[in-house]
A and B are shown apart, each in its own frame.
Chain A
Amino acid sequence: MTKYESAFSKTFLIFMVAFTILPIFAILNISLQPADALSTGLSFSWDLNFQNYVDAWSMGNFGRLFINSLGISLTIIPLAIFFAILGGFGFYFFNFRNKKYLFNFFLLGMTLPYEAIVIPLYYGLNSVGLLNTSWAVIFPLLGGFMPFGIFWLRSYFSSLPNELAEAASIDGATSLQILMKIILPISKSAIVSLAIFYYIWSWNHFILSMILIQDATRRTVTTGLTAFVNQYSQNLPLLCAGTMTVIAPTILFFILFQKHIVKGILDGAVK
């Protein structure tokens, strides 16, 4: 590899990084300007103003929104992981008739857009009194998360050496013991990756909560942010501070777990 080529590659990567960061930098920059500033992103001043964040937090009721969204994510993650482990193991460990068809039937769910099911969900959930509660989002997301979870974990389990489970099987261990004592301990990284995906998807989710939760006190961060942005569309710094407030935890989370996330997506690609 020539030095020239390497320099080209590096320059190019730096350009890609700048292109990716630009929109985020633009809102961060506006969010730190005084409320009456006319700047809309390009010019930068060191006269930073954090008051917008304080104002946005209270005016947008973001504390409430964070609690709501966190409640939804923290309910979904353990339940979804638990059911996906069972399901993924079921498809990995057992042979049964029409297994292939049932598995493909699950895969079908990965292509169904939420827009296609939200209207019947609205009526179904209303009839059982779950509309306007966090459960209205939790249940459909749990259902929607199953296909990927099962697909993901089954692929991972299948990549493990066969001998482990076989040996235990011969020793007379029950299938549950094999799952708990042999498979799970060596599958931590796959489960952590799945949990991270579930967190990101549930936290970022929009359309279900927009339609199924009309109660402003039970809104999630994304629907709350949309309402906030519409209400304060004339105060750009405030609006941007609200947007940054919502994405900051995700960015922080991403930086903390970036190894898992990047590796997770890259591995997922070839399975």
Chain B
Amino acid sequence: MKISGKIKGVVFASLLALVASTSGAIAAGGAPSPSTVSKSITKKPITLRVFTTAPQNKVSEAVAKEFQKKYPNIKVVVQATDFPNYSQGIQLALKSKNGPDVALAANAFDSKNGLTLNLAKYSRLYGWNKTIPSTIAQQWKVTEDYKSMAGSIQVALPTNINIVGLYYNKALLKQAGITTPPVSMEDFEKALAAAKKAGLVPLQMGNSQGHAAFLVQGIGQATDGAKSAAKWALGVTGSTFDTAGNKLGASKLLAWKEAGYIPSDVNSYSLQDAVKNFTQGQGVFLNDGNWDAGTIDAAMGDNVGFIPFPGKNVVAIGGGDAFQIASNSKNKDAAAAFLDMLISAQAAPLAWANGFLPTNVGSAKGSTSLQNDILKAYGNISKANGIVSFNNNVTSSMNQTLTTTTQALLGGQMSVATLISTVQADWASSR
């Protein structure tokens, strides 16, 4: 039987090829340290490939221009995708043979696979630790077992700061009969009720990608305090999501939906849709990060304000876009020089002009009332040591878990207790 004999041969050969290809996989030994680090950069013509997300690419592109002026032999190519696609594809890109040199970090624990460098040596060389606030920096330093953050292996360099707070529409708040923005949880609920009574949309929200989780975390940590909330968010062993604050957060989310404070079709549209609705007067409040400040500022001007999330503790979900260097990069020193420029005083105004709060916050001056509000809020939160890492980042699947569970809660398909236990189960599965 000639033909089937040949088939067997071909199948076998191609199988061998595939098995051989997979056995060549990188062994999981954690993020490798570069053998030598140096500030002196090659003079040969090279290309540096930077992978990031939109709209961060605007900052990277602006900084790339400056970088090319300083090093004319280096061409910087910046590529951007939206975050959901980016986070699913970046590990694949880092592993492939023609991947990026510099890549925005999607999740700190991804570095376990060894595809990106331990930046500790570069950090010492450039003195990065002195400029980055520790609450932000620790989110990109993992422990040696790659199970929690706030460790010693620096897997990425944060280049800007994000905080999540509460935007409010000044005119609508007044229309609802409230004169000062809320400080306590009671104020907040009172304002929501008043807005509802005045026929307004009290709290704008978009949950098709799971951003209702901000509200759960916001209420949770404002109740429990930053210290205990941060432990869980950083993945410190022994902590639990089953706290009074998180339970309150999830039940308020549900109660506010039922009371009509949150739009009933919240699961069907995204945070970006919610931002658009908010700028068009659909919503007295919006729980969102400063990354949307540029859009909101342009649409609303002096009519919008920004405050820390109300509650008895002054806290904020906070983090930052952080960059990694690929282990496969042939130009690691040049990549490190690019990272250094991203956090330089020279880059700060470029970041701030695009709505990104630079890591050296002191250099940022507000030119609009919203920018002043954000700087003021950040100052207060920072003083209270109130920055807590995003719950979404605590495992690589947590973003999906929070999306699914908050959607189910808001859709009447899941109880508060189940939400809490499902989230905790995901957290525990990787520890």
Contacts and interface: CB of A to CB of B under 8 A. Distances in A.
B273 interface: yes
A214 B273 contact: no
Contact of B81 (A128, A211, A216): A216
A217 to B, nearest CB: 7
A98 B1 contact: yes
Contacts, number: 72
Interface in A61-108: 96-98, 101-102, 105
Nearest to A38: B280
A230 interface: yes
A127 B98 contact: no
A127 B93 contact: no
Interface stretch (A10-18, A116-124, A155-163, A175-183): A116-124
A102 B89 CA distance: 37
Interface in B10-56: 17-18, 20-22, 24-25, 54
Given A98-B1, A124-B21, A214-B89, A231 B95 contact: no
Contacts of B124: none
B3 A127 contact: no
B3 to A, nearest CB: 6
A233 interface: yes
Interface residues of B, number: 33
**Chain A interface, DSSP helix/strand/loop, else mixed:** helix
A234 to B, nearest CB: 5
B20 A122 contact: no
B272 A127 contact: no
B95 A126 contact: yes
Contacts of B80: 216
A214 B98 CA distance: 10
B1 A132 contact: no
B265 interface: no
Nearest to B90: A214
B18 A120 contact: yes
Q: Do most interface residues of chain B lie in helix, strand or loop, or is the interface mixed? A: helix
Contacts of A131: 92, 96-98
A98 B17 contact: no
B66 interface: no
Contact of A123 (B21, B84, B98, B272): B21
B276 interface: yes
Contacts of B84: 230
Given A97-B1, A127-B20, A214-B92, A230 B97 contact: no
A124 B17 contact: yes
A187 B393 CA distance: 59
Interface of B: 1-4, 7, 17-18, 20-22, 24-25, 54, 79-82, 84-85, 89-90, 92-93, 95-99, 270, 272-273, 275-276
Given A102-B4, A123-B25, A231-B54, 17 more contacts: A96-B3, A97-B1, A102-B7, A122-B92, A123-B21, A124-B17, A124-B21, A127-B20, A128-B21, A129-B97, A131-B96, A131-B98, A214-B92, A214-B99, A215-B98, A217-B79, A230-B82
21 contacts: A98-B1, A101-B4, A102-B7, A105-B7, A123-B18, A126-B95, A127-B17, A127-B21, A128-B21, A131-B97, A132-B93, A214-B89, A214-B90, A214-B93, A215-B93, A217-B79, A226-B85, A227-B85, A231-B82, A234-B275, A234-B276
The 7 closest A-B pairs by CB, nearest first: A127-B21, A230-B82, A214-B93, A216-B79, A131-B96, A214-B89, A234-B276
Interface of A: 96-98, 101-102, 105, 120, 122-124, 126-129, 131-132, 211, 214-217, 226-227, 230-231, 233-234
